Amino acid sequence: MSTDKELGKWVAAYLSSQGLETPIAKPIGMQGASLQDTIRLCQGHIMNALGLNITDDSLRESPQRVAKMYCEELFKGLDYDTFPKCTTVENKMQHDELIIVHDADVLSMCEHHFVPFVGSACVGYIPRTKVLGLSKIPRVVDFFSRRPQIQERLTAQIHAALSYILKTDDVAIVIKAEHMCMRLRGVKQASSYTTTSKMSGRFMDKPALREEFLTLTRK
């Protein structure tokens, strides 16, 4: 996947200015290879505290597996150096109708209990001067999903980033997700899911447009 470190820097600054950034004390990209070593050691301590024998051949590599998974997969969205390249083209065709990308995967981790929540996002926008490559929208969704999150902030971050990249307020997003922290523990709701949305511009000003988007994204 092509990345755009410079765009990531500007998106991060914009989210911070809007009060939407994830609470990050130290950028993950600044910590280098020592980060995996730190997580590996901490995971080993957790497993030891649980009474597990981490010299067993089934468990011996688990601390390193967890460290690699955290840094290279589950939480890679903490590193803005890996922000996806978002190719836009001039809206020469003067398209001024709704564009929707349906069911972009949301694969994230609850920041309260560090267990997964999974679902999908539907993203719509009306172009002004720019049109975004369709594959870039799921990549932006995935980038912000790959960090400890709450669904409400995730929704707002994706909305703000796309509004910034597209230079338009006419952006709408709906996320529907199942939270393992509700299914595996606590209330133990096996069939419960959560829906969040964020809309702005004409999606807020024109009820008919808002209803069109919701109708087209409703299964």
* pLDDT at site 26: 77
Provide the mean pLDDT of the chain.
94
Whether 111 is catalytic: yes
CATH of domain 85-217: 3.30.1130.10
Give CA–CA dist 37/144, Å, rounded: 24
Instruction: Summarize pLDDT for 111-170 with one digit per residue, the tens.
Output: 999 999 999 999 999 999 999 999 999 999 999 999 999 999 999 999 999 999 999 999
Q: Which one from 21, 31, 64, 113 is the annotated catalytic residue?
A: 113
Q: What is the CATH number of domain 28-77?
A: 1.10.286.10
**How far is 193 from 59, CA to CA, in rounded Å?**
33
Within 10 angstroms of residue 64's Cβ, the number of other Cβ atoms is: 15
pLDDT at 106 (0 to 100): 98
- Per-residue pLDDT at 36: 92
Q: One of 110, 149, 157, 159 is an active-site residue; which one?
A: 110
In tens, the pLDDT along 31-52 reads 666 899 999 999 999 999 999 9
d(CA 106, CA 140): 10
Catalytic residue among 86, 151, 157, 159: 151
Q: Is 151 considered catalytic here?
A: yes
Q: Could you tell me the end-to-end alpha-carbon distance of the chain, in angstroms, rounded to an integer?
A: 30
Amino acid at 146: R
Phi/psi for 25 (5° steps) reads -90, -35
Q: Please indicate whether residue 141 or residue 30 has the higher confidence score (pLDDT).
A: 141
Q: What is the pTM of this model?
A: 0.94
Residues of the chain with CATH 3.30.1130.10: 85-217
Which residues of the chain are in CATH 1.10.286.10 domains? 28-77
Which of 179, 189, 211, 212 is an active site residue?
179
Examine the residue annotation and report whether 110 is marked as an active-site residue of this protein: yes
Catalytic residue among 45, 95, 102, 112: 112
How far is it, in rounded angstroms, from Cα 159 to Cα 172? 7
154: nearest Cα among 182, 124, 120, 130:
120
Per-residue pLDDT, 31: 63
* Catalytically annotated residue among 21, 31, 181, 212: 181
Establish whether 45 is a catalytic residue: no
> How confident is the model at residue 189, as a pLDDT?
77
Arithmetic mean of pLDDT, 101-110? 97
Residue 112 annotated among the catalytic residues of the structure: yes
31 is catalytic: no
179 is catalytic: yes
What pLDDT, in 10s, does the model give residues 162-198?
999 999 999 999 999 999 888 887 777 777 899 999 9
